[in-house]
Copies of this chain bind each other. A is one copy, B any other.
Amino acid sequence: MSRPHPNSHLIGDLQARSALATPALILDLPVLEANLSTGMRLVKDAGKAFRPHFKAHKSLDIARRQLELGATGICVATLSEAEAACELGAELLLTSIISTDAQCKRIAALAASGATIIAVVDHPDVALRLESVLQGTCGALDVLIDLDMRRARSGCATPKAAAELGNLVSASPTLRLRGVQAYAGQLSHMTSCKERSAAHAEFTSRLAAFKFALSHILPDDPIVSGGSTGSMNLDLSGPLTELQCGSYALMDVEYLNVEPGWTAWPFKPALRVQSSVLSTHWDAHAITDAGDKWFADKYGAAPRIVLGAPETAVFEPISDEHARLVTEAKLHPGDRIECLPPHCDPTINLFAAYHVFAGEQLRDIWPIEARGL
C-alpha cells in the first residue's frame, strides 16, 4: 500500500505518455481546468450556489481547484469521503442517508473534530439516533430533510412524512434544520432532452409540494440541494438553490451518449485509460492489459478508443487483466491504446492515482484519496 507508484520516476518527463507502466488513468489537465471554469461560470451566472460532488473525482487536488474557483462547499457520498475531504476546510454535505450507530458516531466525531458538515435524514428513528449520539458530544449538527424525488432510493416519500420529520428535527436541541435535499438522479442519463425536460417539470412541481408542506419550519433562505451534470441545463433555471454536479469535471462515454441540454456539451472528456497491447496472434483481434478490473460502466457503454487503433475498432474487457481489441489493423506488442472510460465515478474508484498530463508531459501523479475503504 505504501509502495511508490511505478510511474513516479516519470514526473516531469516531457515524453512520459508513451513510457508509462499501464494500465494508467490519465487526466488531461488543460481539459480539466476548462471544465472546472466553465461549470463554475454557468452556475454562478444562473445565480445559484455550486457544491460540486467529490464522489465523481475523489481527489483533494481537484476539490481544491473547485473551491478556489468559488464553490460554496463540497458534496461527499460516503463517510470515508467526508473523512478524506475534511482537510479541505470546506462545508461538506454528506448526500447519502446514514442509519447505523457506527455511521452516526463517525459523523459526530467528524463534527467534533471541527469539520463543518451537513447530514441528510429521511427517517425519525435515524434523527433520534443521531440526536442521541450527539448528546454525548455536546455538539450540534446541521441537517437537510431528504426528499424522494421518484427514485425510491432514499428520502421522505410524501410531503406529510417530510413535515413530520421536519417537526421532529425543528424541535431537536442538537439538530439544526438547514433545508432539503431533492436529488432526481434518474434524470441524469435520460438520453432524450425532451424526455428529461418533461421529467424535470414533474420534479419541479413535486418539489413545490414538499416545500409547501415544510414552509412553516424551513429557515429563511433554505438550502435546496440537488442536480447532476445530466440535468444541469434545466437546474440552472429550476427551483434548486445549489447544484451538486460532479461528472462535469471529467466527463465520460455515458454522458457523451446523452443529448446535451445545450447545442453541444460545454464539457470535454478529461479522462482516459491507457493500456498496452500484449498479444497479437490472431487475425481479427489483439489483447491489451486493461481488463474489466479497470473499467466500470452502469448503462452498458463500451470504452471509446481515442488513440492507437482505428475508430472502427471495438474495445471489450474480457477478464480482470485483459481486454480484446477487435480490429483487423496490424498491431504490435507494446503499442499504446487510450480509451475514454464508460462511467467516470466507479472507474476512478478502481485506480489509486491520476496521471496528470499536459500533452506528453507527466505533470504530476495525484492520489485518489477517497477510493473505497
Say how far A57's CB is from chain B's closest CB, in angstroms. Answer: 13
Q: How far is the CA of A349 from the CA of B6 in the complex (A)?
A: 18
Chain-B contact segment, one of A30-38, A136-144, A290-298: A290-298
A126 touching B333 by the CB < 8 A rule?
yes
A22 touching B161 by the CB < 8 A rule?
no
Selected from B2, B101, B126, B349, the residue in CB contact (under 8 A) with A293 is B349
Q: How far is the CA of A349 from the CA of B21 in the complex (A)?
A: 19
B161 touching A281 by the CB < 8 A rule?
yes
Q: How far is the CA of A345 from the CA of B292 in the complex (A)?
A: 11
Q: How far is the CA of A318 from the CA of B84 in the complex (A)?
A: 25
Chief secondary structure at chain A's binding surface:
loop
B345 touching A371 by the CB < 8 A rule?
no
Residues of B within 8 A of A212 (CB): none
Q: Which parts of A336-354 form the interface with B (CB within 8 Å)? A: 345-346, 349-353
Q: Which residue in chain B gives the minimum CB-CB distance to A104?
A: B334
Say how far A119's CB is from chain B's closest CB, in angstroms. Answer: 12
A282 touching B1 by the CB < 8 A rule?
no
A372 touching B351 by the CB < 8 A rule?
yes
Q: How far is the CA of A285 from the CA of B148 in the complex (A)?
A: 14
Q: How far is the CA of A346 from the CA of B289 in the complex (A)?
A: 15
**A103 interface residue per 8 A CB criterion:** yes
Q: Which parts of A16-39 form the interface with B (CB within 8 Å)? A: 19-23
**A264 interface residue per 8 A CB criterion:** no
Selected from B5, B83, B125, the residue in CB contact (under 8 A) with A3 is B83
A276 touching B154 by the CB < 8 A rule?
no
Residues of B within 8 A of A324 (CB): 153
Selected from B5, B20, B282, B345, the residue in CB contact (under 8 A) with A320 is B345
Residues of B within 8 A of A303 (CB): none
Q: Which residue in chain B gives the minimum CB-CB distance to A3?
A: B83
Q: Which residue in chain B gives the minimum CB-CB distance to A280?
A: B123
A276 touching B103 by the CB < 8 A rule?
yes
Selected from B96, B278, B320, B373, the residue in CB contact (under 8 A) with A278 is B96
Footprint of B on A, CB under 8 Å? 1-3, 5-6, 19-23, 55, 77-80, 83-84, 96-103, 106, 122-123, 125-126, 129, 148, 152-157, 161, 185, 276-282, 285, 287, 289, 292-294, 296, 298, 318-322, 324, 332-334, 345-346, 349-353, 367, 369, 371-373
